[in-house]
Amino acid sequence: MKPVRLPAAATLALPRWALFALGLLYILPGLIGRDPWKNDDAASFGIMWTMAHGTWQDWLWPNIAGLSMPDEGPLAFWLGALGMKLFGWLLGDVMAARVGTIAIFLIGVSSLWFATFNLGRRQDAQPLRLAFGGQPEPDDFGRTLADAAVLIYLGCLGLLLHSHETTSEALQVSLTAFMLYRTVRYVEAPSLRNAALSGLAIGLLTLTRGWVTPVFLMLAVFACTRLLAQPVLRALRDLGLALLVAAAVAAVWLVPAEALHPYHQQPLQAWMDWNLHQVALPTLAAFKYFFRVGVWFFWPAWPFAGWAVWAWRRQRLALHIVVPLAFVTMGTLLSLSTETPEQGQLLVLLPPLAVMAAFGLLTMKRGAINAIDWFSVMALTLCGAVIWLFWIAKLTGWPAQFAKNALKLVPGFTPEVGLVAVPVALLATAGWFALVHWRVSRRPTVLWRAVVLSSGGVILIWILLMTLFLPDVNYSKSYASVARQIAQKIPSKADCIETNVGPAQRASFAYYAQLPFTGVEGGRCELLLLQDSTKVRDNREIQPQHRGKQWVLIWEGRRPADRSERFRLYRRVD
Kindly provide the residue ranges of all beta strands, DSSP E only, lying in 99-212, ordered along the sequence.
Answer: none
CA end-to-end span of the chain: 85
The residue type found at 45 is F
Would strands 551-557 and 565-572 be described as parallel, antiparallel, or unpaired?
antiparallel
Alpha-carbon dihedral angle through residues 275, 280, 284, 287, given to the nearest 10 degrees: 50
Distance CA 552, CA 432 (A): 58
Helix axes 232-260, 192-209, angle to 10 degrees: 40
Alpha-carbon dihedral angle through residues 49, 50, 51, 56, given to the nearest 10 degrees: 160
Using alpha carbons, list the distances in angstroms from residue 140 to 9, 18, 144, 376.
Answer: 10, 17, 6, 27
Residue 361's CB is within 10 A of a number of other CB atoms, namely 23
Buried b (16+ CB within 10 A) or exposed e, 454-488: bbbbbbbbbbbbbbbbbbbbbbbbbbbbbbebbee
Contact 320, 125 (CB under 8 A): yes
Q: Where are the alpha helices (DSSP H) in 35-74?
A: 40-52, 56-60
Distance CA 327, CA 334 (A): 10
CA atoms within 13 A on the CB side of 450: 28
Distance CA 468, CA 418 (A): 8
Look at residues 541, 540, 531 and name the one whose alpha carbon lies nearest to residue 565. 531
Task: Say if pTM beats, i.e. exceeds, 0.85.
Answer: yes
The maximal CA–CA distance of the chain, rounded, in angstroms, is: 94
Spatial CB neighbours of 250, under 8 Å, sequence gap ≥ 6: 203, 206, 207, 211
Would strands 63-64 and 67-68 be described as parallel, antiparallel, or unpaired?
antiparallel
Apex 62 CA angle, 533 and 348, nearest 5 = 85
Distance CA 260, CA 60 (A): 9
Distance CA 555, CA 497 (A): 14
- Residue 379: phi and psi, rounded to 5, are -65, -45
Q: What is the pLDDT of residue 158?
A: 93
Spatial CB neighbours of 462, under 8 Å, sequence gap ≥ 6: 26, 29, 30, 160
Q: In what order do the strands lie in the sheet with 527-533?
A: 497-499, 527-533, 565-572, 551-557
Contact 3, 361 (CB under 8 A): no
**Residue-wise pLDDT tens for the chain (574 aa)?**
456 666 665 677 778 888 888 999 999 998 998 999 888 899 999 999 999 999 999 999 999 999 999 888 999 999 999 999 999 999 999 999 999 999 999 999 999 999 999 999 988 877 767 655 556 788 888 898 999 999 999 999 999 989 999 999 999 999 999 999 999 999 999 999 999 999 999 999 999 999 999 999 999 999 999 998 889 999 999 999 999 999 999 999 999 999 999 999 999 999 999 999 888 888 888 999 999 999 999 988 998 999 888 888 887 788 999 999 999 999 999 999 988 888 989 999 999 999 999 998 888 777 777 787 788 888 899 999 999 999 999 998 888 888 888 888 888 888 888 889 999 999 999 999 999 888 888 777 777 777 888 899 999 999 999 999 999 999 888 898 899 899 988 887 778 898 889 899 999 999 999 998 988 887 788 899 998 887 777 666 666 666 666 788 889 898 888 888 889 999 888 6
Q: What is the pLDDT of residue 7?
A: 64
